[in-house]
């Protein structure tokens, strides 16, 4: 029987820094992103740096601003990286490519293994920086395709973040970056963190242009009942665990897309919807079994993986026709 791994905790301590010291700014970028050389384009300019950086498993998220025009040079990047200007603009290039302009509508997308130069980071440019470890993005792509990738994963150098999937992905990444800076943020809950990490990584593969986009858009081949049963057995045995699509696909020994197709075909709902139904049933049974002085609705909701009480109450009422409190305080 498949043993579900214990929940993991891979949160880096959030970094918050305001500084007018260029050396200090270099160091915080170096520790959290890449080694760098930074030069002010106007030597007399005053730096007003603001940095808020967090790590979520294999993804580093940050909002960065220098407050002065500058040039920043890196060696070969070891990760995939996306810069989304929230204000202002940035001119950049990698290798021998001509410089490109990143704006609030057009994000810069950097490849690993190439020398990188930010030719002009404008003083009014505040940007969202997302670093995704190379092995993580490529492994997730192989899981989606259910096959090893034969060609290097080369993301297009720009991504439209003004509409469509690019806009949705940028909003998701920004929300994760901001939530990570809040000690009470949901991102610090394991049940949310793993799924959010997965959503950011998979979302990038679906939003950015690359040679595998067409394959990802094709319908997945049908999944036999056995893999679906393996996933269901794991969820039934431990519904309180922080399952993600990636983990369920590993348990089922198929790709994420085949698992989703199998659940649609044999169960009639997505895997995570099925998991939510199991958790609701377990919560319902616990509320029926206990008295008001023994447990609270919040305790029960948290125990079965519901971190948002109002959402739990709405789902519960839709499923059982009454509120969780009504079940607990029944006469």
For residues 28 and 36, what is the distance between their CA atoms, to the nearest angstrom?
10
Structure tokens at 121: 């980071």
Task: Specify the fold of 225-328.
Answer: Arc Repressor Mutant, subunit A (1.10.10)
- Confidence (pLDDT) at 224: 65
* DSSP tag of 186: G
Indicate the domain borders of the chain: 1-218, 225-328
Query: What are the 10-residue block averages of pLDDT along the chain, 331 residues in total?
Result: 39 83 94 94 89 92 95 93 97 92 98 93 97 91 80 91 96 94 80 86 95 82 79 90 91 91 87 89 85 84 84 85 84 45
Do the domains spanning 1-218 and 225-328 agree at the CATH topology level? Answer: no
Q: Do residues 212 and 149 make contact, with C-beta atoms less than 8 angstroms apart?
A: yes
Reading the block at residue 235, the tokens are 């969820």
Taken as a whole, the chain contains a residue count of 331
Separation CA 15–CA 32 (nearest Å): 9
Cα–Cα distance, 249 to 245 (Å, whole number): 6
Quick: pLDDT tens for 96-106: 889 999 999 99
H helices, E strands: number in the chain: 12, 12
Residue 175: C-alpha distances to residues 49, 106, 185, 201, 273 (Å): 21, 18, 10, 14, 23
**What distance in Å separates the CA atoms of residue 146 and residue 163, rounded to the nearest whole number?**
29
Confidence at residue 221, expressed as pLDDT on a 0 to 100 scale: 65
- For residue 190, what are the CA distances in angstroms to 51, 186, 240, 241, 270? 25, 9, 11, 9, 21
**What pTM does this model have?**
0.70
Query: 1-218 in CATH: which number?
Result: 2.60.120.10
pLDDT tens, position by position, 125-183: 999 999 999 988 998 898 888 777 777 799 999 999 999 999 999 999 999 999 988 87
Rounded to an integer, what distance in angstroms lies between the CA atom of residue 144 and that of residue 175? 24
């Amino acid at each position: 029987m498949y043993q579900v791994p214990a929940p993991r905790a891979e949160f880096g301590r959030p970094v918050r820094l305001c500084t007018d010291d260029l050396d200090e700014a270099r160091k915080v970028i170096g520790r959290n992103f890449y080694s760098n050389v930074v030069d002010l384009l106007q030597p007399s300019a005053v730096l007003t740096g603001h940095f808020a950086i967090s790590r979520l498993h294999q993804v580093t998220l940050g909002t960065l601003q220098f407050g002065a025009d500058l040039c920043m040079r890196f060696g070969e990047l070891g990760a995939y990286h996306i810069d989304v200007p929230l204000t202002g603009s940035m001119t950049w290039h990698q290798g021998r490519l001509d410089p490109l302009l990143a704006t609030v509508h057009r994000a810069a997308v950097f490849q690993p293994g190439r020398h990188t130069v930010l030719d002009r980071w404008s003083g009014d440019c505040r940007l969202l920086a997302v670093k995704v470890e190379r092995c993580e993005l490529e492994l997730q792509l192989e899981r989606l395709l259910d096959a090893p990738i034969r060609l290097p994963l080369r993301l297009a150098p720009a991504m439209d973040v003004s509409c469509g999937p690019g806009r949705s992905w940028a909003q998701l990444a920004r929300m994760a970056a901001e939530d990570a800076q809040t000690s009470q943020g949901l991102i610090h809950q394991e049940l949310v963190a793993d799924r959010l990490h997965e959503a950011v990584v998979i979302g990038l593969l679906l939003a950015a242009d690359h040679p595998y986009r067409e394959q990802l858009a094709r319908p997945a081949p049908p999944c036999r009942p056995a893999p679906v049963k393996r996933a269901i057995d794991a969820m039934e045995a431990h519904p309180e665990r922080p399952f993600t699509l990636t983990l369920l696909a590993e348990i089922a020994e198929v790709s994420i897309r085949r698992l989703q197709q199998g659940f649609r075909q044999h169960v009639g709902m997505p895997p995570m919807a099925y998991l939510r139904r199991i958790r609701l049933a377990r919560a319902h049974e616990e509320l029926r079994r206990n008295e008001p002085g023994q447990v609270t609705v919040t305790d029960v909701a948290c125990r079965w993986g519901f971190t948002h009480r109002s959402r739990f109450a709405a789902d519960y009422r839709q499923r059982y026709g009454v509120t969780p409190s009504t079940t607990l305080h029944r006469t």
